């Protein structure tokens, strides 16, 4: 079974994402900020991380930098999931190491297509 870590400071977004992902046969874990997400990845690397941009404690961009600097045995696929939709944001996310980018609000079809693009659906 594929694993996904949903990282968002919104419980509602995490719940919606969890529901969609579980219907796609993912085992889902959650984190409320980038620091929790990094700790989770260091303990057990998921197949994919669905990552919010703006969060307290550690932002999505700071998480990506810390993940890149860590010595994980393998790197999870990263799908940024955010309301930030400017081309500069998308470019910055991809340059920082994101594999794909999805806008909030999202639905199952959109999320599934992004996960197929990164090779985990």
Q: What's the mean per-residue pLDDT of the chain?
A: 94
Best CA proximity match to 48, nearest among 67, 66, 65, 62: 67
Give per-residue pLDDT as tens, 89-101. Answer: 889 999 999 999 9
Q: What is the pLDDT of residue 37?
A: 98
pLDDT single digits (tens) 71-89: 898 999 999 998 877 889 8
d(CA 86, CA 97): 17
**Does the predicted model carry a pTM greater than 0.85?**
yes
How much is the average pLDDT of 96-109? 93
């Amino acid at each position: 079974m594929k694993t996904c870590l949903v990282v968002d400071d919104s419980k509602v977004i995490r719940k919606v994402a969890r529901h969609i992902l579980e219907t796609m046969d993912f085992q889902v874990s959650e984190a409320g900020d980038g620091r929790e997400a990094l700790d989770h990845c260091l303990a057990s690397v998921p197949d994919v991380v669905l990552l919010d941009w703006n969060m307290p404690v550690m932002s999505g961009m700071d998480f990506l930098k810390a993940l890149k600097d860590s010595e994980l045995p393998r790197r999870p696929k990263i799908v940024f999931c955010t309301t930030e939709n400017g081309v500069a944001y998308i470019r910055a996310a991809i340059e920082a190491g994101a594999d794909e980018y999805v806008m909030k609000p999202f639905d199952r079809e959109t999320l599934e297509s992004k996960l197929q693009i990164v090779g985990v659906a």
